[in-house]
Amino acid sequence: MTTPTPTVRLDNGVEIPQLGLGTARVGDEEIRRIVREALAVGYRFVDTAAEYENEVGVGQGLRDAGLPRGEVFVSTKLRGADQGYAQAKQALTDSLRRLQLDHVDLYIVHWPLPRLDRYVESWQALQELAAEGLTRAVGVSNFLPEHLARLGEEASTVPAVNQIEVHPRLPQRELRAENDRRGIVTESWSPLANGGDLLTDDVVTGIAAEHGVTPAQVVLRWHVQQGLVTFPKASSVERLRENLDVFGFALGEDDLARMDTLATGERTDPRQDPATWEEF
Ligand SMILES: NC(=O)c1ccc[n+]([C@@H]2O[C@H](COP(=O)([O-])OP(=O)(O)OC[C@H]3O[C@@H](n4cnc5c(N)ncnc54)[C@H](OP(=O)(O)O)[C@@H]3O)[C@@H](O)[C@H]2O)c1
């Protein structure tokens, strides 16, 4: 049987499961099935975003599963097109309508979009949405140290999380240290580096064989063992089960040192540098 998923405490005391389900690049109908199946095999955390255009399907999957609302942690994100004070206040209401929920557990500014220069006023709106009870916690995604510093100077609340691309090829040690210094929990997106050749790398397959686990389990264990919160996306029940089952074994110091050799600094999409990347 799969070991229960531990939780991590956010700065306001809200507990987030350390491993959940990612939902990017999946349409409403398929994500409805995947969310339902994931919750049936034990997932209690689903990460979506307005930009994924699948909040309706995610909400249907949540309802199909029939779990008490308080047992499932749901996060969604403010898309670039909705940045700005008034737009951000409205955007969460729109997301909640699509999800058919009265609150989410975490609401996140998806990208800083520094050229647009609206993330400080967006953040002001998110803090108010939390005070109004529409989200239990608020966070950011893809924020670099300079963006975190600006929020530190101009806002009264520190983000609960910074959701950034992290995997063994891109360990992001400096940005994670900056998050830690500010009391921000790091969430890893694309934890499997999108399921590409990382999972057939000799280092990963070698460690997997030694522990009698799969390459994906080695990589996900690498995340959770370092205290990261993550949410791989998978399509089949077999993979959903496999990815959740990473709390019953541990990587040794030697394994972690071998994993360090995989750090090339490569992003899954080299264009997605948060200093310049724009998506709306
Ligand atoms: N904040 C942001 O800007 C941002 C950006 C990107 C992603 N995200 C979030 O992070 C989540 C995860 O990232 P991601 O979806 O980009 O990539 P990922 O989770 O690293 O990888 C997903 C890919 O890996 C495959 N896979 C899953 N489990 C596997 C296993 N056990 N063995 C072999 N292959 C496996 C999946 O294939 P199948 O689906 O075919 O099973 C899929 O193609 C997203 O879904 C989204 O929620 C956030």
- Mean model confidence pLDDT for the chain: 97
Residue range 27-44, pLDDT digits in tens: 999 999 999 999 999 999
Residue range 99-152, pLDDT digits in tens: 999 999 999 999 999 999 999 999 999 999 999 999 999 999 999 999 999 999
With b for 16 or more beta-carbon neighbours within 10 A and e for fewer, the 26-53 pattern comes to bebeebbbbbbbbbeebbbbbbbbbbbe
Please count the structural domains in the chain.
1
CA separation for the pair 88, 4 (Å, rounded): 35
Domain-located, residue 19: yes
CATH code assigned at 159: 3.20.20.100
With a threshold of 0.85, does the pTM exceed it? yes
Span 230-242, average pLDDT: 98
Determine whether 52 is an active site residue: yes
CA separation for the pair 115, 278 (Å, rounded): 9
Contact 94, 104 (CB under 8 A): no
Domain-located, residue 265: no
Domain-located, residue 1: no
22 lines ligand 1 (CB under 6 A): yes
- The domain in which residue 50 lies consists of 7-260
Is the model's pLDDT at 95 over the cut of 70? Answer: yes
75 lines ligand 1 (CB under 6 A): no
Distance 155 CA to ligand 1 centre (A): 32
Span 7-23, average pLDDT: 98
Is the model's pLDDT at 1 over the cut of 70? Answer: no
Residue range 158-196, pLDDT digits in tens: 999 999 999 999 999 999 999 999 999 999 999 999 998
